[in-house]
């Protein structure tokens, strides 16, 4: 064959797999053929007969149409080339050939790492990323022309790179390259160059060029998609629950929930009737659930079987998710740090893990504001009202929505504004799945307060009505250190700030604190006991 543009989809097989057939699901059901010796590749081609079938949507058309719809059968073609490259097995799939591979044998993020090491950082076209907060939001960001990573609006502190597409810095790698688990390349070559290209891509996988061209941050956090490793971490979680070592275990529903309509939560699997409102509590507290687990219980299975339930204000119970999907857990395994969030495990690079924890303990002050304990039967709104009514220096701002210049909606300035210019934002940690919302609320409010005089006037008017006099001059932008943003977190745990907050919440708090500092706001955290 002459030189032409060839599209290749390449996987790397894990290093423990030594025999070609061992990475295939059903090698005995496939036909095979040795690769010609002239290509210098030690490997085989596996394939099967094409399966023909009518498209599954054809019956819908037949039912809708007055006439017979004449559509030929689809052919499902599959083939895979397996070859040894530097003592590893690489797979090139054709058609639906990936279906031949055992998923547990695929080296995850092989394609992403090759792409990071070979793409021109100024000629990126698409990025697949996940933003880590208290939930994980996955986004696909595409550019209409080749550009730099800065144009994609990535936050290098709490974004996880999951996929990348762009142009290589050297045409030897191809015209176009895309990487996730697989490496997808469009390359101008002769088929006789296949071994050379596979060696080239494997060398790129082993390289660390990405750290020198601005992508070193991708190592901060990475998703664990290896089923064997995930299962090992799941057993670590089960062991922690069995041994009651739950200091770093939290529960937070991974889905958006209408908290205003919820009167409480309950767990299945603890011997309580789920249709009885008396069994529901406002607090999301794992203590009761963990204490009810019997020594002989298979915890690994139980947390997947049991459900977190909520009850609406109309008395209707509903299942939110499995207990497993709602858990947020931090553990050290084989000397490395891992986080479970929304049912997915993440590896956290050690230096980043320490950077976040050191920032939280050294740079986030504990507020000097004194807030009373929160009664167990009071929700967030009732607590705010109680606090404001009990102190002449506190003004209630909760649920008082203020307009923002050129803004799409109204927002709260804070929950409580104090005479000494503290803007207190209160969140019941046991009720909220996203502490990031608390941190975001304070940051957005601060931005509006700095930039919008009309917003400041609305705050001033409400505050003056309570205090009888103006507390600040709304016509002037806040001066450095004049105002303090206080995050008040209602919690049942009496431990350090490092232990109280899930890791991804700490990441968000760190980012928010850095942005508040740039706006010249003081900031602090206050923990309110739930009693």
Report pLDDT digits (tens) over 151-175. Answer: 776 777 777 888 899 999 999 999 9
Query: Six-digit token pair at 145?
Result: 């022309």
Residue 207 pLDDT exceeds 60:
yes
Mean pLDDT of 110-126: 93
Distance of alpha carbon 29 from alpha carbon 19, whole angstroms: 17
Residue 105 pLDDT exceeds 70:
yes
Residue 431 pLDDT exceeds 50:
no
Comparing 3-7, 33-37, 64-68, 200-204, the range with the smallest average pLDDT is 64-68
Mean pLDDT of 184-194: 93
pLDDT at 138: 65
Distance of alpha carbon 173 from alpha carbon 91, whole angstroms: 17
Residue 432 pLDDT exceeds 50:
no
pLDDT at 77: 81
pLDDT at 428: 77
Neighbours of 343 (CB within 10 A): 15
Q: Are 529 and 494 in contact (CB under 8 A)?
A: yes
- At a CB cut-off of 8 Å and minimum separation 6, what does 514 contact? none
Residue 74 pLDDT exceeds 90:
no
Q: Three-state SS for 294?
A: coil
Comparing C-alpha atoms, which of 248, 244, 286 is closest to residue 269?
286
Q: Are 356 and 288 in contact (CB under 8 A)?
A: no
Distance in angstroms between the alpha carbons of the first and the last residue of the chain: 77
pLDDT at 82: 97
Backbone angles phi, psi at 513, to 5 degrees: -60, -40
Which ranges of 364-434 would DSSP assign to H, the alpha helix?
A: 380-389
- Stated pTM of the model: 0.75
Handedness of CA 272, 277, 278, 279 (dihedral sign): positive
pLDDT at 326: 87
pLDDT at 430: 53
């Amino acid at each position: 064959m002459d030189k032409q543009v060839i599209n290749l989809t390449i996987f790397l097989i894990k290093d423990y797999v030594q025999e070609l057939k061992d990475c295939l699901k059903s090698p005995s059901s496939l036909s095979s053929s040795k690769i010609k010796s002239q290509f210098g590749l030690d490997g085989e081609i596996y394939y099967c007969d094409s399966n023909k079938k009518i498209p599954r949507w054809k019956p819908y058309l037949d039912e809708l149409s007055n006439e017979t719809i004449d559509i030929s059968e689809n052919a499902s073609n599959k083939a895979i080339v397996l070859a040894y490259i530097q003592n590893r097995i690489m797979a090139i799939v054709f058609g639906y050939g990936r279906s031949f591979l055992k998923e547990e044998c695929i080296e995850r993020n092989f394609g992403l790492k090759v792409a990071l090491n070979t793409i021109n950082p100024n000629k990126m076209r698409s990025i697949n990323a996940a933003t880590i907060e208290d939930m994980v939001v996955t986004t696909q960001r595409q550019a209409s022309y080749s550009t730099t990573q800065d144009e994609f609006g990535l936050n290098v502190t709490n974004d996880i790179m999951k996929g990348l597409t762009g142009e290589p810095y050297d045409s030897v790698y191809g015209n176009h390259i895309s990487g996730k688990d697989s490496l997808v390349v469009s390359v101008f070559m002769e088929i006789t160059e296949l071994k050379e290209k596979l060696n080239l891509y494997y060398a790129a996988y082993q390289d660390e060029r990405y750290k020198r061209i601005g992508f070193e941050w991708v190592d901060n956090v990475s998703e664990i998609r290896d089923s064997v490793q995930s299962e090992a971490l799941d057993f670590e979680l089960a062991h922690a629950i069995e041994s009651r070592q739950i200091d770093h275990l939290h529960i937070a529903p991974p889905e958006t929930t209408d908290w205003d309509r919820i009167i409480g939560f309950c767990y299945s699997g603890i011997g309580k009737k789920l249709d009885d409102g008396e069994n529901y509590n406002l607090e999301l507290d794992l203590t009761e659930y963990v204490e009810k687990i019997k020594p002989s219980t298979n915890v690994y299975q139980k947390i997947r079987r049991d459900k977190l339930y909520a009850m609406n204000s109309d008395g209707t119970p509903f299942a939110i998710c499995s207990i497993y999907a709602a858990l947020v857990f931090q553990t050290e395994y084989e000397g490395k740090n891992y986080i479970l969030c929304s049912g997915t495990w993440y590896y956290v690079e050690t230096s980043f893990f320490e950077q976040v924890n050191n920032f939280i303990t050294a740079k986030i002050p504990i507020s000097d504001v004194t807030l009373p304990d929160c009664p167990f039967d009071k929700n967030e709104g009732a607590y705010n009202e109680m606090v404001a009514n009990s102190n002449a220096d506190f003004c209630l701002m909760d649920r008082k929505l203020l307009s923002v210049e050129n803004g799409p909606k109204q927002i709260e300035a804070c929950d409580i504004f104090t005479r000494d210019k503290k803007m207190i934002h209160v969140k019941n940690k046991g009720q909220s799945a996203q502490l990031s919302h608390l941190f975001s609320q304070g940051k957005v409010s601060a931005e509006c307060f700095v930039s919008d005089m009309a917003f400041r006037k609305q705050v001033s008017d409400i505050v003056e009505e309570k205090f009888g006099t103006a507390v600040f001059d709304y016509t002037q932008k806040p001066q450095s250190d004049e105002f303090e943003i206080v995050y008040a977190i209602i919690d049942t745990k009496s431990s350090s700030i490092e232990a109280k907050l899930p890791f991804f919440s700490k990441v968000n708090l760190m980012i928010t604190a850095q942005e508040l500092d740039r706006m010249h706001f003081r900031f602090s955290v206050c923990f309110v006991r739930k009693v």
